[in-house]
Structure formats: structure tokens, C-alpha cells
Amino acid sequence: MENTQHKKSKKDEKIELTDDETLDESTDQDEKDLVSEENSTSDLDHAVQLDELNDRLLRMAAEMENLRKRSLKEREDAIKYSTTKFARDIITIADDLERAIESVKGIDFEKNDATKTLYDGVELTLRSLTQIFSRNGIERFDPSGEKFDPTMHEAMFEVPDSENVSGVIVHLVEPGYRINDRILRPARVGVSKSEK
């Protein structure tokens, strides 16, 4: 009987050993699965973080490029329009010179050499000023006959007109000026008002 018990106990030990080994193997496998799962989760986290960082880097690069372009545009505009205030002041001189020339048009210069010399001097000064304007991108415009545009023209009065439709410029009070593509001073005009 002892022998049977001994056999039985050996058999139980064998079963226990097998169970323990199986338990150990199962635990080892679970640990490996858990580590593998953590690694894959960790890899996913790293991939997500990498994507987020890559996205942030691309956005920062795009923002820097936009900032560079904006700064370049502002610099170009500053250079292009730096003389705007001065030009706005100096165009009144051109207006005065034109008015001076207009005021002596009816005078006979053959009888008065001093007036002729003065007229020639004023005309030469206006021509020189016009050349300086053109070198600096300042352009005079006369919108007579065009459709009234409030962004480029300033209506001073309306003229009853049966020949033209309403809103056509029929009289120029003062010419307009632009510097490059911006209006320096709108043209001051009289606009037709249709009687139809």
C-alpha cells in the first residue's frame, strides 16, 4: 500500500509539476503578451507623438514662410510708398504751377518780354516737376468722359445734362494723382445728372 501511495504521490507530484510548469509557461506567455502589448501600445503612442510633432513642424515651417513673405511685402510697400506724404504735399505745387500757366494764356507775350520769360520759367518748372513725378511713380490722371468711380474721383457738383447719362464726368476741377497703384489724391470732378 505504501508503494501505491508512493506511486500515487509521485504521480501527483508529476501532475503538480506539470501544472506548475504549465502555470509558469502560461504566466511567462501572459507576461510576454503584456510586454508585447505595452510595446505595441508604446509604439502607437510614439507614432502618434511623431505625427503630432511632424504636423507641428510643418505648420511652423508654413507660418515662418508666410511671415517671411509678409515681411518682404511690407518692406517692398514701405519702399514703394515711402514718399506718399511728401508727394501729397508737392502735388499742390504742380496744381499752382498749372493755374499760373492757365492764368497768363490770353496775354500777348510779344509786347512784354518779362512776362514771356516768367511764363517760360513756370512752364519749364512744371515740366521738370512732371519728370520728377514720373521717375518716382507719381502719375497724373484726367478722368474726363469716364464713368464716376468714388474710389478714384471726388464729386464736387452735379451738372444737369441732357446728352449724357447720369454719373459721367463732364468737368475737371482738379486732376487726380496716383503713386504706383494707389490713389494719392482723387480727381475732383463735376458729374452729369441726366434730365431724362
pLDDT for 133-162, tens place per residue? 999 889 999 998 889 999 999 999 988 877
Residue carrying the nine cell digits 518716382: 136
Distance CA 174, CA 152 (A): 12
Closest CA to 101 of 115, 82, 80: 115
pLDDT at 111: 80
pLDDT at 67: 93
Contact by Cβ (8 Å): 80, 180: yes
Q: Which three cell numbers stand for residue 59?
A: 505648420
Which of the two residues, 60 and 3, has the higher pLDDT score?
60
Q: Residue range 112-139: average pLDDT?
A: 90
pLDDT for 48-93, tens place per residue? 888 899 999 999 999 999 999 999 998 988 887 777 888 888 999 9
pLDDT at 130: 93
**Which DSSP string corresponds to 51-114?**
HHHHHHHHHHHHHHHHHHHHHHHHHHHHHHTTTHHHHHHHHHHHHHHHHHHHHTTTS-TTT-HH
- The phi and psi torsions of 163 (rounded to 5 degrees) equal -85, -35
Single-letter residue type at 172 = L
How confident is residue 17, by pLDDT bands cut at 50, 70 and 90? very low
Helix (H/G/I), strand (E/B), else coil: 143: coil
pLDDT at 80: 77
